[in-house]
Structure 1
Amino acid sequence: MKINFLLITLYCFSFKGIAQVDPIRQNPIPQDSVANTQILTTVVLSASYQKASGVLIPTEKITESVLQNFTPIDLVDAINQTSGVYIQSGAINTNRITIRGVGSRTLFGTNKIRAYFNGIPITSGAGETNIDSYDTNSLSTIEIVKGPKATQYGSNIGGTILLSTKEANKDGLDVSTTFSAGSYGLFKNTTSASYKEKDLSAYTSYGHLKLDGYRDNSKYNRNSILTYTEFNLSSKFKLGALIQHYDNSAEIPSSLSQTSFNEDPTQAAFTWGQARGYEDNNETLAGLTLTSEVSQNLSNTTSVFYTYLDHYEPRPFNILDEITNGYGARTIFAKEYKFKERQAILSFGGEWYQDRYQWQTIDNLYQENNGNGSLEGALLSDNKELRSQFNLFGTTTVSLAENWKVEAGLNINKTQYEYIDLFNLGAANKSADRDFDPIFAPNLSISYTASNDIVFFGNVSRGFNYPSIEETLTPDGTINPDIGPEKGWNYEVGGDLLFFKNTLRLKSSFYLLSIDDLVVAERVGDDQFIGRNAGKTNHRGVEMSLQYVNNIAPRLSLNTYINADFNAHKFIDFVDESANFSGNDLTGIPKKKMTTGVSIAHETGFNTGVSYRYIGSQPITDANTLYSDAYQLLFAKAGYKKEVFSGLVITISAGINNVLNTKYASSILINASAFGGNQPRYFYPGNPRNYFSSVGVNYNF
């Protein structure tokens, strides 16, 4: 029924997307950067939504050149320089992304945001997003939309992250390979090839990453392959194909108590070390995208996709064995039209996603395995879940006057879960369904261009996050029919200003994000949590980005920036069974975060730069009786790029992470409980000073 409805939508509506150009503060500022963010272009395809949000007001973009300024291991350091965005990283495979404080209460991963790769959703039906599977050397851009402003991408309260792969940008065959090595057994290789001719564009890459790790039981090994191809079937039709597959094995050292963290941060948590806990993943993402230019003013982009994840994770308390099969379709129609003789853009579409999640827990007999780690015992549970989401969305952007533009949108979401208990068939069966009411999420943005150098903007939008089916289960495995989705309103005003002949850019935002029915996980056992709607939070803050780019000598350029955010995220109404936390600071988010950096590049190919990050203290418990220590990190990198002869380019670089050798917790496990007389394990130790170097060769035939 839902597939038929999506196909009806595909053929009955005709709308066109808007191609916005949001200048990237980390790169040299283009002369017309602010003006470009407000211009409605005359030739726009719906395909622009595949790799860009298209929202009216500025977003944050991280480009390939910025990714290359940081460690080649993962995306964490590059993303963490963005104001309002904070990633806590317990390990390469354990990341918690928060945007303006949303997602801070997730214990072991990322949810409450939605992520896409080349327009294909990579967030599971449970709302979980993993970024460790994406190779930094294969990405061209990362766009971050803060808050529920991206109507066409689900209106999640936290926001949206859009990852885009590299493409062939030169005619002919281009081949490159990069080798990196560094501290703690780091070895990485990415080899890629791209080919482009009149009607064909193809990019493929293979990546390998190996790391022994700073801590005990923290080895990581990943192999991945990515292929993205576009065919011009005719002057009106283009077909794109995306396939990514990776497999990885990652040991899990887990968190430490305060005493263990102070005495020996290299150790793994005792039980995790004894069980030799780890996770093993095999994941595949495949998609086909057809872009149709129906007429000069009408286009459509439709994608069908499939995802597969086989996850196996021995933990001290049990062994988790799960398989997820996901599939769906996404379509966007786009049309240009006139509104009071002014140019306007209207887009409309739908997205349907469903996954089948099968999981078992198995008794872990590691204590009986003579020190050889985890050993499977008896089956403890056997479950199947069907998780389905359907979104309808529409957005229009119109010019009301010479300097005023308005964007209005609406997202309608329908979500349902079906839970089947295969272990307790019969009288004890706890199978159940959850069919949530539709949620309507409107969005209104406005921008005023005072001059080519000064733009002001504002936004009011509504977002939502559904609880996962696990959060709707009680400890005895029955469905809690009372727990519902979080809902929130986002209010934001800001400005984007250029000074001194566009060499200095200042961007600032003031926001209030009010969330009702906050879903919290209360820990009641070693691996037991109760999810419930606990109350209301207010997320208030200011974000500022200042960048200066100029030539300081005839052949020497300078790029420096400061990004800062200050917040006052609070529980407004939060009462649990034992205490009233209303008025307390939101757990797991620093009140202050600042990053700054400076880089210098010479026309001969030499470049060098340093960056600095300050993370303020953050509450570890809802009672605010315990706070983490503030810390600061310094990074440095230098490189050289040279065209040896026509078509052959060699790149050499080296860098240092944590130059000051700061001892800090890179991730905090909030509200950790103590079991068996042991201290709560709150802290994931960050890496001390470490080094890396890279050598790359690129040849264009």
Structure 2
Amino acid sequence: MKTLLAGLFAFTGVVNFAHAQQDSTRRLNEVTIRPYFTTQTLIRSTGTIGLVDSATLAKQSGNSFVSSANTIPGVRMEERSPGSYRLSIRGSLLRSPFGIRNIKIYLDDFPLTDAGGNSYLNALDVAGASQLQILKGPQSSIYGANSGGVVLIQPQGSNVPTDSTSVALKLEGASFGGFHQNVLLQHQSGKYKLNVTQAYQQSDGYRDHSSMNRKYFQALQKWDYAKNANIKALIFYSDLHYNTPGGLTAAQYFQNPKLSRPAAGQTKSAIDQNAGIYSKTLYGGLSNNWIINGNLKHVISIFSSYTDFKNPFITNYEKRKEFTLGLRSYLEYTRSTSDVDWKFNLGLESMKTGTDFDNYDNNFGKTGAVQASDKLNANSNFAFAHLSIDVLQKLLVELSASANLYGYNYKSIAPVAIPKKTNKFDVQFMPRIALSYLLDDQLSIKTSVSKGYSPPSLAEVRASNNVINVDLQPEYGWNYESGISYVGLNKRLFLDVTGFYYNLKNAIVRRSISVNEKEAEYFTNAGGTKQWGIESSLAFWIIPLNNINFIKALQLRSSYTYSHFKFDQYFDKANNFSGNDLTGVPKMTIVSSTDLQLAQGFSVFLQHNYTSSIPLNDANTVYAKKYHLIQARIGKKGLKLANVPFELYIGADNLLNQKYSLGNDLNALGGRYFNASATRNFYGGLLICL
């Protein structure tokens, strides 16, 4: 109870007040976000928003988004092995044991999540992102089908100084063969802006058979071709490979956590089968912004992606070829009077993803006989409307809704040919009503009600059992939340507390089965969940930013998550799991950090992450133990070599050398729940700016 009360002194969305390479006098209340078309300060936000800016990213190792994302209360990001991401917002891990589900992700103006519900977040390199806005809870009103939340990724190059050219080179080495290199080129001349990001990353991994490498290229261009119009182009290419060591039983995990999955009976080992992921993705988007007049604007975006995906697994070798084509467009009308600012948006988003699924016998990492071959096409369409009313810069009201239409068609080629069939879901109306009110310059209150909706992804409709499950239905539910935000002590303190209740129906959960001594998975609808939670975070400048003292700044931050999530009316055959804790969700998480800025460019950063025990199966008979993670980073800016400025830094993760599993396999067959994470490890890097 004491921990719960302490956690109430926190603020949703960890905020950095000092941008890594910008104005050091930036004030807290000047940090702005744009989650629902309207630019807002954090204190006025109507929703629960987590912000990971470039300064937050810079304080962590550049190898992944995991540590940065986990500073946001209510967000849990895992990495089962290097390159293998899972992302959960408010308990969605029960649906995403091997990927990202029921969360919509956008890269700039373009959806990264395809029509089939898959989000290849691990295709992106950390170097290509400058900011993440995480919208927690269902946001189906203007972002389409999602029951967990939305992630808005701002790519590098969105803020380039006028008429300037800069080049930055970053090199980072780490324990277990880790290496990350990236080059960032930014240029603006007159009406043209260009950003190019190139990156390469590799790691041998902590466990056997857990190496990874990724080659990445990204370009963002913007051209103001008229006084009232501009066009923006985004493209990235990612070539990712990582080995998958596989889950371990409790006995294997405690005896030797570095092991990859060994052979058992007739089932070969992960090393024997060369288990891993080979994924190549090419993505492109084009967006035109036209200001028709002082009140009316039109934005249209087209986007497309192609992914060549290969997954030699223990029991089969899967190949997928996925092609997506889509469009997003909206009109925006604004009007202002002396008392009220109005903004109305009306738009649509439509996309189609075609996927060829082919499964073969896996003969020691080589394709064998065909097991199954299918073609699936997913169609995702929704129209949306959004109205924002700002009264006297105090009361902000947002009303939005969408009509969602989702369906897919499928055709089986092998082992038995089945003609093309279609499965469509009913049109779903998704409203959101939200408001925030400034009681005074320091204190605001907010509340919202929204409905979430998320159809099964193609990876769930056709899971590794190679059966097209036409009975799998969408999940949906209502979310209610309220909160307060406070700015005090001459803007040195920012505090936010949010409480919510989410009643999810028809929840999609994973099951493992054994067919002919081969492990396979499938998905089914559970009865639902009841999710009560508190998310809070505190940011406090003990010593404000200054250029006088030896200590230039000292900031403390703490985020707290309390999740009282339970299954509701959930029966699995003869088992009654009603009232059990939600699988994969820790009841409590506390992340605290200290950021110390010293004279002559020295800096010290410390972070502590406490995560309580985690249920690993729906029956709640197996739990992962609680753990404490401590990180540290020391840096020195302002160095010069031959008049070239550079920065040096060294860091360490898991300083307590905890044995923990970051990326558990939920409801795993044979009790293979555990994917051990790295022991104490170190990294260091060099940043050169020209």
What's the TM-score once normalised by structure 2's chain length? Answer: 0.90
| 8 Å Cα contact 1:311-1:321 kept in structure 2 | yes
Question: Counterpart of 1:85?
Answer: 75
Deviations 1:489-544 (CA, angstroms, capped at 9, x unpaired): 11000011012111111111000011011122222224433432220101111011
SS in 1 for 2:573: coil
Give the C-alpha shift of residue 26 in structure 1. 2.9
Question: Counterpart of 1:371?
Answer: none
Question: Counterpart of 2:332?
Answer: 334
Question: Counterpart of 1:563?
Answer: 559
Deviations 1:247-280 (CA, angstroms, capped at 9, x unpaired): 0221111111111111111111011122121211
Question: Counterpart of 1:295?
Answer: 293
| 8 Å Cα contact 2:18-2:55 kept in structure 1 | no
Instruction: Return the match for 1:532 from 524, 531, 535.
Output: 524
Q: Which segments of 5 or more consecutive residues in structure 2 lack a partner in the other structure?
A: 1-11, 20-24, 263-268
Deviations 1:401-428 (CA, angstroms, capped at 9, x unpaired): 67322110001111110111122465xx
Instruction: Return the match for 1:414 from 405, 410, 432.
Output: 405
Instruction: Return the match for 1:636 from 628, 632, 637.
Output: 632
Q: How does 1:204-283 map to 2 (within 5 A)?
A: 204-270=196-262, 271-283=269-281
Deviations 1:140-177 (CA, angstroms, capped at 9, x unpaired): 10000001236322251100001111115232221111
Deviations 1:290-323 (CA, angstroms, capped at 9, x unpaired): 1101111211211111111001111120101111
CA distance 1:343–1:187, shift in 2 (3 Å): same
CA distance 1:80–1:341, shift in 2 (3 Å): closer
| 8 Å Cα contact 2:519-2:669 kept in structure 1 | no
CA distance 1:26–1:45, shift in 2 (3 Å): closer
Question: Counterpart of 2:380?
Answer: 389
Supply the AA of the counterpart residue of 2:85.
N
Question: Equivalents in 2 of 1:232, 1:47: separation in Å?
Answer: 22
SS in 1 for 2:96: coil
| 8 Å Cα contact 1:92-1:132 kept in structure 2 | no
| 8 Å Cα contact 1:23-1:33 kept in structure 2 | no
Supply the AA of the counterpart residue of 2:272.
Q
Is 1:682 the counterpart of 2:676 in the alignment?
A: no
Give the C-alpha shift of residue 618 in structure 1. 1.2
Question: Counterpart of 2:492?
Answer: 503
Is 1:199 the counterpart of 2:161 in the alignment?
A: no
Question: Counterpart of 1:128?
Answer: 118
Supply the AA of the counterpart residue of 1:98.
S
SS in 2 for 1:604: helix
SS in 1 for 2:254: helix
SS in 1 for 2:657: coil
Instruction: Return the match for 2:663 from 659, 662, 667.
Output: 667
Question: Equivalents in 1 of 2:688, 2:555: separation in Å?
Answer: 26
Question: Counterpart of 1:440?
Answer: 429
Question: Counterpart of 1:172?
Answer: 164
Question: Counterpart of 2:5?
Answer: none
Question: Counterpart of 1:11?
Answer: none
Give the C-alpha shift of residue 475 in structure 1. 9.2
Give the C-alpha shift of residue 102 in structure 1. 2.1
CA distance 1:581–1:156, shift in 2 (3 Å): same
Supply the AA of the counterpart residue of 2:619.
A
CA distance 1:529–1:255, shift in 2 (3 Å): closer
SS in 2 for 1:684: coil
| 8 Å Cα contact 1:547-1:562 kept in structure 2 | yes
| 8 Å Cα contact 1:138-1:165 kept in structure 2 | yes
Question: Counterpart of 1:3?
Answer: none
Question: Equivalents in 1 of 2:540, 2:584: separation in Å?
Answer: 32
CA distance 1:45–1:588, shift in 2 (3 Å): closer
Question: Counterpart of 1:650?
Answer: 646
| 8 Å Cα contact 2:296-2:331 kept in structure 1 | yes
Supply the AA of the counterpart residue of 1:67.
L
Give the C-alpha shift of residue 438 in structure 1. 0.6
Question: Equivalents in 1 of 2:453, 2:585: separation in Å?
Answer: 20
| 8 Å Cα contact 1:34-1:455 kept in structure 2 | no
| 8 Å Cα contact 2:94-2:509 kept in structure 1 | no
Q: Which segments of 5 or more consecutive residues in structure 1 lack a partner in the other structure?
A: 1-21, 367-373, 675-679
Give the C-alpha shift of residue 480 in structure 1. 4.7
| 8 Å Cα contact 1:35-1:452 kept in structure 2 | no
Supply the AA of the counterpart residue of 1:642.
G
CA distance 1:33–1:524, shift in 2 (3 Å): same
CA distance 1:235–1:338, shift in 2 (3 Å): closer
Deviations 1:426-457 (CA, angstroms, capped at 9, x unpaired): 5xx26431111111110000111001110100
Supply the AA of the counterpart residue of 2:502.
L
Supply the AA of the counterpart residue of 2:305.
T
Question: Equivalents in 1 of 2:69, 2:277: separation in Å?
Answer: 24
Question: Equivalents in 2 of 1:138, 1:406: separation in Å?
Answer: 34
| 8 Å Cα contact 1:356-1:387 kept in structure 2 | yes
SS in 2 for 1:316: coil
Question: Counterpart of 2:346?
Answer: 348
Supply the AA of the counterpart residue of 1:92.
P
Question: Equivalents in 2 of 1:127, 1:377: separation in Å?
Answer: 29
Bigger Cα displacement from structure 2, 188-197 vs 642-651: 642-651
Give the C-alpha shift of residue 132 in structure 1. 2.0
Cα RMSD, aligned residues only: 2.6
Question: Equivalents in 1 of 2:93, 2:59: separation in Å?
Answer: 27
CA distance 1:340–1:395, shift in 2 (3 Å): farther
| 8 Å Cα contact 2:330-2:346 kept in structure 1 | yes
Give the C-alpha shift of residue 46 in structure 1. 6.6
Supply the AA of the counterpart residue of 1:682.
Y
Question: Counterpart of 1:543?
Answer: 535
Question: Counterpart of 1:592?
Answer: 588
CA distance 1:273–1:541, shift in 2 (3 Å): same
Is 1:606 the counterpart of 2:602 in the alignment?
A: yes
Instruction: Return the match for 1:403 from 373, 389, 394.
Output: 394
Question: Equivalents in 2 of 1:48, 1:597: separation in Å?
Answer: 28
What's the TM-score once normalised by structure 1's chain length? Answer: 0.89
Is 1:112 the counterpart of 2:102 in the alignment?
A: yes
Give the C-alpha shift of residue 397 in structure 1. 1.0
SS in 2 for 1:262: helix
Q: How does 1:139-150 map to 2 (within 5 A)?
A: 139-149=129-139
Is 1:616 the counterpart of 2:606 in the alignment?
A: no
Deviations 1:449-504 (CA, angstroms, capped at 9, x unpaired): 00111010001000111012454469986655443210111100001101211111
Question: Equivalents in 2 of 1:638, 1:399: separation in Å?
Answer: 44
Is 1:512 the counterpart of 2:501 in the alignment?
A: yes
Supply the AA of the counterpart residue of 2:368.
G
| 8 Å Cα contact 1:23-1:37 kept in structure 2 | no
Q: How does 1:352-501 map to 2 (within 5 A)?
A: 352-366=350-364, 374-400=365-391, 403-424=394-415, 426=417, 429=418, 431-472=420-461, 480-501=469-490
Question: Equivalents in 2 of 1:646, 1:377: separation in Å?
Answer: 58
Question: Equivalents in 1 of 2:383, 2:93: separation in Å?
Answer: 24
| 8 Å Cα contact 1:37-1:57 kept in structure 2 | no
Is 1:25 the counterpart of 2:29 in the alignment?
A: no
CA distance 1:415–1:474, shift in 2 (3 Å): same
